[in-house]
Structure 1
Amino acid sequence: MPTSKPRSKTSTATPSRKTAKRGATKKTAIIDESESPAEDASDAYHDSGSDNDEDEEDVKSLHSDALDEESDYATQSKGQKKRRRVASPAKPKPKPKSKGKVTSASATKPKQNSSGKAPARKKRKVEEDEDEDEGSELELKDGQEVVGKVIQAPKTGWVPEGQVSQHTLDFLMHMQDPACNDRVWFKLHEPIYRRCEKEFKEFIEAFTTMLTEVDPQIPPLPPKDLIHRIYRDIRFSNDKTPYKRSFSASCSRSGRKGIFAFFQPGNESALAAGAWCPAKNELNTIRNHILHSSDRLREIISGPEFVSHFGDPHPHPKGKQQSVFGRDDELKTAPKGVDKNHKDIDLLKCRSLAVSRTFTDEQVLKPGFIQELEEVVRVLQPFVHCLNDMITLPVGSDDGDEQEEEEGDEEGDE
């Protein structure tokens, strides 16, 4: 009876076509990090064709003696195994390999050996492997996607704490481009964002230290309690870009209100203060104070320093923003129950009593920018205190300082 010749356990350097098919795997999602911040975002979906030679060598190594031994062992019939054991009875039985080790993916279920267990497979780590057909489309498993190249933050060009660098303005300039104001682009440039965010937090910490010295009413809060999120709420907006175009923070006696600062490239960085769209009750209280007496507010907005920073204390002839006037929410006619010929009708038509001062990019990048902001904050302090008193004090208390003095006198008399 003819006997089958036992197969050799050695393998050739080049795997057979059948073995190559069995060893082919799908591409997996990878992230290739690059330290160059100047690379184009179009590289987000990249190919690793330059690594084909190395990948082919890795595939060949996977079809070495051990892999061929497992393949031969799995494809032998029971009869062949018996004849082989008879031919060499002295040879020890090969020990089964440890469970949990996996070789390259196979399209078919492996055959079981004589013990009824599937042959163990070696574990391997593969980042990317080409399909046999190079022209076929990339197939990914559920939940997998090709992310692209992560752009690392520059290692040079940053400034000391309390200053703003060109890197921050450049990143915010990208946020103004709809092609970059995208979750994929943002994810690939997140290391740059995190570094710019850290720089902005350090600046706000220095700004808050200066602000609390100028205005003792403002508590010293950490930057995380003052800085606004960069993520936009797009639920009720026609603009669906997911990220803001500026870094912003605000602080007051109650936290994120009051003096408002933000950095936006294109000479649009600003420092602002006042009451933006106050609630109905707060707005009515402010108007009642103005109806009773507008002298204190008029005196503040007419001061020479205030005018030099925020403009003349009357509406602009062409309706532009100037001082507290010209806001988008300003009424076209007099409020309900107010005479349209009232002497303070210009103030009474305002729904927001706020002022802002813009700065050029050149000013923002100067080492002494904090000192320049300190000058503006000192001019804003009386204006902010006046609005706070209008909102919190009853009508008739024209000056909060005078009321405090009266209370002190009363305590002394007691």
Structure 2
Amino acid sequence: MNTTAILSYLSDLELHNEREWYHAHKTQYQEANTEFIDMLWQLIMEIGKTDSSVINNNPHDLTFKLVRDTRFSHDKSPYNPAFRAHISAKGKLPIPVGYFIKIQPGNRSFLGGGLFTDMFKDATNMVRDYIVAHGFEWQRIINEKSFPETFRVKGECLKGIPRGYDPVHPQAKYLKNKSWYLEYPISDDQLQKDSFIKFATDIFIRMQPFNTFLNNALIGFEMPKR
């Protein structure tokens, strides 16, 4: 696995973020993408040793396009110079939650887990209700020694406790969230080490209790039909 090829291509794309350059360098893209797919294969196999729900994924189905939707953005750059993928029991769908990886040069890469999206009101309410009912379990997970040493729960929040929830609940701080996720930053140097797969797998394994809690909360959730 050659992560240097991935970083090199993405750095060049960021410098030449235009359609003409992109189409003229399809071979470089294909080489970098092949390396990224190989990385995902290895991660699936390693994560699958402790989370068998991800084993049957095809990494080609887990990646997100480089092409940006610029219709409502002031930034009209046509491409997002980052390779991204979500590995979960249902592929790259945001629910059930799984393991997210973003590779972007300039030390902007990260490993992620949890519920990133806040666009599904039903999902948000399901997680809030589950935290209310299983507050001790939630607190045990986020207080586990390796968790605060490694992660901080992130997510868009309301300014106050949402209506219908107890403002003095022991986990009231987290009831304000509309999403709950983790991000672990990765440097370019870490990405290029031979030990990266082992290192990334260890970080993802540390996320598993957090992911399991959220997925238990989201049992029965159905993605909206288009």
TM-score of the superposition, structure 2-length normalised?
0.89
CA gap of 1:165–1:393, structure 2 versus 1, over 3 A, is closer
Q: What is residue 361 of structure 1 aligned with on the other side?
A: 188
CA distance in 1: counterparts of 2:133 and 2:3, whole angstroms: 48
The answer as to 2:45 corresponding to 1:209 is yes
Q: Is residue 164–residue 364 contact of structure 1 (8 Å, CA) maintained in 2?
A: no
Which entry has the higher C-alpha Rg, 1 or 2? 1
Equivalent position amino acid for 1:167 in 2: A
Show the 5 A alignment for 1:80-119.
none
- List structure 1 runs of 4+ shifted beyond 4 angstroms: none
Q: What is residue 292 of structure 1 aligned with on the other side?
A: 133
Show the 5 A alignment for 1:3-402.
163-177=1-15, 180-256=16-92, 257=94, 258-278=98-118, 279-310=120-151, 323-325=152-154, 327=155, 329-392=156-219
The alignment covers a number of residue pairs equal to 216
CA distance in 2: counterparts of 1:292 and 1:221, whole angstroms: 32
CA distance in 1: counterparts of 2:146 and 2:29, whole angstroms: 37
Q: Secondary structure at the match of 2:30?
A: helix
Q: Secondary structure at the match of 1:234?
A: coil
CA distance in 1: counterparts of 2:205 and 2:11, whole angstroms: 30
Equivalent position amino acid for 1:267 in 2: N
Q: Structure 1 residue 307: deviation in Å?
A: 1.6
CA distance in 1: counterparts of 2:85 and 2:117, whole angstroms: 18
Equivalent position amino acid for 2:99 in 1: I
Deviations 1:177-220 (A, max 9, x none): 3xx11001112222111111111111111111112122112232
Q: Secondary structure at the match of 1:213?
A: coil
Q: Secondary structure at the match of 1:217?
A: helix
CA distance in 1: counterparts of 2:146 and 2:170, whole angstroms: 24
Q: Structure 1 residue 342: deviation in Å?
A: 3.3
Equivalent position amino acid for 1:168 in 2: I
Q: Secondary structure at the match of 1:206?
A: helix
Q: What is residue 25 of structure 1 aligned with on the other side?
A: none
Q: Is residue 135–residue 170 contact of structure 2 (8 Å, CA) maintained in 1?
A: no
Q: Secondary structure at the match of 1:167?
A: helix
CA distance in 2: counterparts of 1:214 and 1:181, whole angstroms: 39
CA distance in 2: counterparts of 1:247 and 1:342, whole angstroms: 40
Structure with a larger share of its residues in helix: 2
Q: Structure 1 residue 227: deviation in Å?
A: 1.3
Equivalent position amino acid for 1:248 in 2: R
Q: Structure 1 residue 347: deviation in Å?
A: 0.5
Q: Structure 1 residue 303: deviation in Å?
A: 0.9
Q: Structure 1 residue 261: deviation in Å?
A: 0.6
Larger RCO, structures 1/2 (Cα 8 Å, 6+ apart): 2
Q: Is residue 268–residue 359 contact of structure 1 (8 Å, CA) maintained in 2?
A: yes
CA distance in 2: counterparts of 1:295 and 1:237, whole angstroms: 42
CA distance in 2: counterparts of 1:217 and 1:357, whole angstroms: 22
Q: Secondary structure at the match of 2:72?
A: coil
Q: Percent identity?
A: 29
Q: What is residue 82 of structure 1 aligned with on the other side?
A: none
Q: What is residue 55 of structure 1 aligned with on the other side?
A: none
TM-score of the superposition, structure 1-length normalised?
0.50
CA distance in 2: counterparts of 1:221 and 1:393, whole angstroms: 21
Equivalent position amino acid for 2:51 in 1: D
Q: Structure 1 residue 393: deviation in Å?
A: 6.9
CA distance in 2: counterparts of 1:392 and 1:344, whole angstroms: 21
Equivalent position amino acid for 2:153 in 1: V
